[in-house]
Chains A and B, each alone.
Chain A
Amino acid sequence: MSAPENPWRVARDAARTRADALGLPTTALEDWRQVRVAALSTAIPAATPIDDLALKAAIAQWRLPDLPLAVLVNGVLQPALSDAPAWVRPLSALPAVERDALLTRWLTALPACDVVGECWSLADCAGGLHLTPTADAPSAAAPAVQILALSTGGSHGCRIVITVPRAVAAQIVVQHVALAATPARTCVTVEATVADGATLTLDELVRGADDARQLLTTTRATLGRDARCHWATATCGGALVRQRVLIELNGANAEADLSATALLSDARQAHVFTRVLHRVGHTRSRQLIKTASAERSLAGFDGVVTIAVGADGSDAEQQNHNLLLSPNARAETRPQLDIHADEVQAKHGATVGRLDAEQQWYMRARGLSVAQADALLLRGFLNESLARFGTDAARAIAVELLP
């Protein structure tokens, strides 16, 4: 009698097969039209071994103060280096029933998955996390954790499953930190279920060695009645940073607030791809994406808000504003509304421009140099989206991105 197959291996192999069938994305694909996809063709060397001393130094450098910590190294939880609460568990610790349900769902979804990054996030997933935030006591502070996702190079994937129970407000900060200066690829898929009356605050920071980094993330959240999801991210880009956020507002009074900030230089690129579905009425979504691009960098935004048939009373806003700081910098923007209900409020706006010469001159007339004026104007421009970070610690780090 042969040994039963490892179910994780089965899932990973299926994801690998699906990824291979999809192949690398090209600009012929509508969703990738704005992206410099050549970055994905870069050969990825194997992960660099890292000793405990270096790892501890990296953790000391990157961890945020006052938040319990879960350390992932190349997608694998490091319990000895973490002080995370008990509700943060590796996927391998899931009971068999839950594990099988999860893998069955993922395997069922694979044939229809046309996003190679999502396939890689499972194919290369050696660990992953499961979070079910719970407060220690009704009067206790909101459950919170920071996930320090360190990459030492190579290609790795990670799947993070978050279930926020009814009426719980959870704060989760994910820092994607690239330690290796060599080309590396990280694919992360976050699946969040936010129950009725629950709130998920999910702050993401993309930090570390930027130039060689490929980071492909998908964050998928479904919201119940009166649920809230606040997602914020800040990045300086990389060889390719692409963050997909898919939100389903499935219960009345559900609300999503998405914001992204990118400050790009050199030949880096960063893309935000959002799909927000108002499945039922009296739901609300806000999106604010602000970018500033210098030198030959590229900022991309592709967002669709869909208001389904019968979702009357929905209220949606989508704003994307981009600054170009040099003649060769680029910003691509595709804000889109897809409305199938009659009584809704929906608006969107997009701008691409340069720093305002009159504002700059006003500041110079008060004694600021051109560089000081530009830095202050840039800070002022990006402050609006940075202010939307839900946790003070993440916001403080995000502000450090600024000049």
Chain B
Amino acid sequence: MLTVSNLAVTVNDQPVLRGLSLRVPAGEVHALMGPNGAGKSTLTKVIAGHPAYTVSGGSVMLDDVDLLALEPEARAHAGVFIGFQYPVEVPGVKNSDFLRLALNAKRKAAGQTELTAAQFAPLLREKMAALQLDETFAERFLNAGFSGGQKKRNEILQMAVLEPRLAILDETDSGLDIDALRIVADGINAYRSPERAIVLITHYQRLLDLVRPDRVHVLVQGRIVTSGGPELAARLEREGYDWLLNAPPEPSTPAP
């Protein structure tokens, strides 16, 4: 599914990712953890094609598709979805209008017929119900005036509607209360399938208690310094990152 190889990225000529490698097979959930400033959000934005980041080396492949060669919208059409840490607010644009346009753009790229508003409405209602979102959510302007938690739930709603093959969720658990976290986790678990892959970027064990990861990776100073099973997240929860920051870096190799 996703294969990141020796990815090097700079922002304003400053290196942020320094030879990062990561492999996430289809059907698996991987957690990506690391201290602030390690480069986690940078990785998500590079995979999505943000123009502020310069890739100076390496590759990002989604199966046999070279994502770095594609425009951002083509990456979305190929099946990439980023649940952003700070979703932007767009006053004046209705959530439902935006979602229908986004879904139709993807359907059109796949050679499928586009959905009319009447065809889209029941689909959206079904997805919103699964996330226990009020129906007025669809008519509200995109993220405008939303609480932090509402924005994160809206990102999960978008994921549920767009049904990407690869979802990278950047601190989706931040800003969520206990009940909302459980609802979002249920949404993520419902999305799991043998054909899809998920990367959860998080600082906390609590999300990983609800969405059990197959692998956990720790990103420090722009590269993966260690990987392991769910027990690695538990250790980080107990001991923090000091034991990793003080240890010599492991050779960066693609995770098995």
List of A residues within 8 angstroms of B245 by Cβ: none
Q: A369-B73, A380-B91, A380-B92 are in contact. Are A361 and B51 (CB under 8 A)?
A: yes
Inter-subunit contact A365/B49 (CB<8 Å): yes
Q: How far is the CA of A238 from the CA of B179 in the complex (A)?
A: 55
Chain B contacts with A in 36-64, Cβ cutoff 8 A? 48-51
Q: A361-B51, A364-B71, A364-B73 are in contact. Are A376 and B158 (CB under 8 A)?
A: no
Inter-subunit contact B101/A372 (CB<8 Å): yes
In this assembly, does B141 line the interface, its C-beta being within 8 Å of a C-beta of chain A?
A: yes
List of B residues within 8 angstroms of A384 by Cβ: 91-92
Q: How far is the CA of A338 from the CA of B97 in the complex (A)?
A: 41
Q: Interface size for chain A: under 10, 10 to 19, 20 to 34, or 35 or more residues?
A: 20 to 34
Inter-subunit contact B105/A362 (CB<8 Å): no
List of B residues within 8 angstroms of A370 by Cβ: 73
List of B residues within 8 angstroms of A376 by Cβ: 93, 97-98, 101
- The distance from the CB of A4 to the nearest CB of chain B, in whole angstroms, is 59
Query: What per-residue 1/0 map shows which CB atoms of B155-168 lie under 8 Å from chain A?
Result: 00010001000000
List of A residues within 8 angstroms of B76 by Cβ: 364-367
- The distance from the CB of B53 to the nearest CB of chain A, in whole angstroms, is 11
In this assembly, does A36 line the interface, its C-beta being within 8 Å of a C-beta of chain B?
A: no
Inter-subunit contact A364/B49 (CB<8 Å): yes
Chain A contacts with B in 301-321, Cβ cutoff 8 A? none
Inter-subunit contact A377/B93 (CB<8 Å): yes
Q: How far is the CA of A182 from the CA of B115 in the complex (A)?
A: 43
Query: What per-residue 1/0 map shows which CB atoms of B14-55 lie under 8 Å from chain A?
Result: 000000000000000000000000000000000011110000
In this assembly, does A350 line the interface, its C-beta being within 8 Å of a C-beta of chain B?
A: no
Inter-subunit contact A377/B73 (CB<8 Å): no
Inter-subunit contact A359/B105 (CB<8 Å): no
- The distance from the CB of A39 to the nearest CB of chain B, in whole angstroms, is 31
List of B residues within 8 angstroms of A356 by Cβ: 88
Q: How far is the CA of A377 from the CA of B234 in the complex (A)?
A: 43
Q: How far is the CA of A366 from the CA of B81 in the complex (A)?
A: 7
Q: A359-B88, A359-B90 are in contact. Are A380 and B101 (CB under 8 A)?
A: no
In this assembly, does A382 line the interface, its C-beta being within 8 Å of a C-beta of chain B?
A: yes
Inter-subunit contact A358/B88 (CB<8 Å): yes
15 CB < 8 A contacts A-B: A364-B73, A364-B76, A365-B73, A365-B82, A367-B77, A368-B105, A369-B73, A372-B105, A376-B97, A376-B101, A380-B91, A380-B92, A380-B141, A380-B142, A382-B92
List of A residues within 8 angstroms of B101 by Cβ: 368, 372, 376
- The distance from the CB of A94 to the nearest CB of chain B, in whole angstroms, is 45
A-B pairs, 7 with minimum CB distance? A380-B92, A380-B93, A367-B76, A364-B72, A383-B92, A367-B105, A366-B102
In this assembly, does B152 line the interface, its C-beta being within 8 Å of a C-beta of chain A?
A: no
Chain A contacts with B in 51-100, Cβ cutoff 8 A? none
- The distance from the CB of B36 to the nearest CB of chain A, in whole angstroms, is 21
